[in-house]
Amino acid sequence: MYYIFYAFAWVITLFPLRVLYLLSDFCFLILYYIVGYRKKVTRTNLRNSFPEKSEKERRKIERRFYRYFCDLFVETLKLMHMSKKQMNRRMVYINGEFMAEQYAKGKSVMLMTSHYGNWEWTSSFSMFYPDKPVYQVYRRLKSKNFDRFMYSLRVRFGAKNIEKNETLRAMVRLRNESKLCMFGMLSDQTPSPNNIHHRVNFLNQDTPVITGTEQLAKKFDYPVVYVSVTRVKRGYYKCEVVPIAVEPTKMKEFEITEIYTRMLEDAIRKAPEYWLWTHKRWKHKRK
């Protein structure tokens, strides 16, 4: 099945995105109206996150989300053949000066990212600093074939991948080698029950949050930024670097995590359809 999928994806992504969006529109009809992929999870998340909205308003967000979810799927596959020139045109980065300032001080930078907008395309960040690579922290997929496939997509534009359990060791090694870089951390995931150290009110719900990025930033004294992704129009994005902590060691405990959470929440409230609502974000309830 994997090789059939790979062959199909390789051929279909030779077509331009405007053609792939026709496939996305078709997938939306199947996924939303026939399969109903994780529709119950999505509706529960939307109902709990936006209790002030009417059922009609939430259903509108729900349909928009599934449409975008299918767009995200074909945009991710398009990475197989997308050129640097195309990526430069479709993903615009803002406030890169902050990164240069930190490098001049001899510091690497922590990037707090999220499942908002096209997070796979943000791997192209490394194109703007070819001598300062992005190390993306990721969790291996259960399928070795699909894990290898996604790995290859994420390194196409020069980014590097670090398996989650190897993060600390890799950061120590890179620091000892005096190599400056960026560490991309998907920070809106659900921590395992044994790793819940802090909770915040996020989207009207008591939410356990990952604090690993903050802990690493303080340990190495690396500045932290929020990677804000905005969809300009279909197939085009704006990615802005927003500083959270220039001197993380001077921040209060969990303050960095809470600032990031508020920034992400603001983005979701402005355009909720671009966040990953099918994720079981609130599965670990407070005892």
For every residue of 79-127, DSSP letters joined together read GGT--HHHHHHHEEEE-THHHHHHHHTT--EEEEE-SBS-TTGGGGGGG
**265 is a domain residue:** yes
CA dist 209 and 201 (Å) reads 10
Answer whether residue 200 is part of any domain.
yes
> Considering the domain boundaries, does residue 123 fall inside one?
yes
Mean pLDDT of the chain: 94
Q: Is 274 within 8 Å of 239 (Cβ atoms)?
A: no
pLDDT tens-digit readout, 40-98: 999 999 999 999 999 999 999 999 999 999 999 999 999 999 999 999 999 998 888 88
The values of phi and psi at residue 80, to 5°, are -60, -35
Instruction: Give yes or no for a contact between 111 and 144, defined as CB atoms under 8 angstroms apart.
Output: no
Asked whether residue 280 is domain-assigned, the answer is no
Domain contains 50: yes
Domain for residue 282, yes or no?
Answer: no
Question: For residue 169, what are the domain limits?
Answer: 2-274
**89-147 confidence digits (pLDDT tens):** 999 988 888 888 998 999 999 999 999 999 999 989 888 777 778 899 988 888 899 99
Q: Is residue 193 part of a domain?
A: yes
Number of domains in the chain: 1
C-beta atoms surrounding 250 within 10 Å: 10
Q: Is residue 253 included in any domain, yes or no?
A: yes
